[in-house]
Amino acid sequence: MQIPYEIQARPDTGLYNAKLGIWLFLASEVMLFGGLFSGYVFLRMGADPGYWPHGLLDVRIGALNTAILIASSVTVVLAWASLKMRKFRDYKLWMGVSILCGAIFLFVKLTFEWPVKFEHFGAFIKKDALGHYEQYLGNAHLAEKKLDPRVEISGHLHEVEIQAEGVDHAKLETFLKAHDLEAKPDAHDPKVLTIEGRHLTPNVAAKLERVPGVKVEAFVLGLDPVNAAPTDPESDKPHFWYKGPTEHLGKIERKDIEFYSAFAPKHSPYFAIYFTITGLHGLHVLAGVIVMIYLWLPITGGANMFRKNPEHLANRVEVVGLFWHFVDLVWIFVFPIFYLL
């Protein structure tokens, strides 16, 4: 049986089935992302002063990915227009470029954006200990300028200092070997062992703390620019161009730390909602790329459908295009709220 209005529009609504379907689906997507964005507003408005971070994301990467998504929105619409004009080769070209743009977006996210966050160390300082770290936080300077205080010190983890006494050496050795780390006696304090190595991430440091007998004394970081020069006016605002951790080393006592971790979802409400929204958006990009590949590949790619009824293929491309523009539209809001504001 032929399903009615698969290709031709229904006279009363003026719509074919798939178009009606995709718009209802997009309406439900608006509610899904709307819920998450209202969660963002809730977390941000509820954050204590200083607990909503700024300048932790790389604006260059965010802006590049925004431009890539916008470009792909243009090429998807050109692919659809090519089919309307019955130019199959142009369609293949523009659809191919759209797929490439989607793939580059995901590649940039999964290669340059996310992995570095899972290795970056950030520690929230206990309220009564904030004064000890004024040289890294610059809160007197911020108070003078009527800006929110800083409560976090971040950077690249260089060393972890642990108490030499009471350590179960066999278990510590096994742990260090498994994680490719080294332990050295401290040059100034014989009671302290210094753990260091290329693979010393915040996660490994947290595991080290769980080795029997290990008592962490302090963390040594290559500080982020904002903590290396906290009173520099440049640090008052998010960095225009993200600069990585400096060579400037800073030491934080374990007893002064409220909570530390990598820049993972558990680190703070900011990273929790950042990974939730950008992760869900990334899944949408992946879904869009898969459907576009299906409509593009020589085997599945619509050459037959184009011969039989080109309008049917044009409709399919229009529908995937509508989904793709919605994905672009969500990113247009994601970019400023996480990267810039």
Partner 1 sequence: MDAAHEPAKEIAPASHEDHVPAAHDMHLGLYLGVGGFLIIATGVTVLLSYVDFGSRSRNIIIAMILATIKVGFVGAIFMHLKGEKKTIWRFLFFTAFFVAGLFLLTLLHFSDPIFNTGYNHH
In the complex, the smallest distance separating the C-beta of residue 257 from partner 1, rounded to whole angstroms, is 22
Containing 124, the helix (H) or strand (E) segment is strand 121-125
Structure tokens at 143: 């108070």
Specify the residue, 197 or 242, whose C-beta has the smaller distance to partner 1.
Answer: 242
In the complex, the smallest distance separating the C-beta of residue 153 from partner 1, rounded to whole angstroms, is 22
Supply angle C-alpha 125, 128, 133, rounded to 5.
50
Under 8 Å between Cβ of 70 and 329: no
In sequence order, what are the residues at sequence separation of 6 or more whose Cβ sits closer than 8 angstroms to the Cβ of residue 283? Answer: none
In the complex, the smallest distance separating the C-beta of residue 115 from partner 1, rounded to whole angstroms, is 24
Specify the residue, 202 or 321, whose C-beta has the smaller distance to partner 1.
Answer: 321
In the complex, the smallest distance separating the C-beta of residue 289 from partner 1, rounded to whole angstroms, is 18
CA–CA gap between residue 45 and residue 38 (Å, rounded): 10
Specify the residue, 8 or 174, whose C-beta has the smaller distance to partner 1.
Answer: 8
In the complex, the smallest distance separating the C-beta of residue 305 from partner 1, rounded to whole angstroms, is 10
Specify the residue, 10 or 171, whose C-beta has the smaller distance to partner 1.
Answer: 10
Name beta bridge partners: 192: 163
In the complex, the smallest distance separating the C-beta of residue 265 from partner 1, rounded to whole angstroms, is 20
Beta strands in 224-266 (DSSP E): 249-253, 257-262
- Interface residues toward partner 1, by CB under 8 A: 13-15, 19-20, 23-24, 27, 30-31, 34-35, 37-39, 41-42, 45-46, 59, 63, 66-67, 70-71, 73-74, 77-78, 81, 84-89, 237-238, 240, 303, 306-311, 321-322, 325-326, 328-329, 332-333, 335-337, 340-341
- Which amino acid makes up residue 310? P
Sign of the Cα pseudo-torsion (134, 136, 142, 147, in order): negative
Specify the residue, 188 or 298, whose C-beta has the smaller distance to partner 1.
Answer: 298
Phi, psi of 299 (to 5 degrees): -70, -50
Specify the residue, 35 or 115, whose C-beta has the smaller distance to partner 1.
Answer: 35
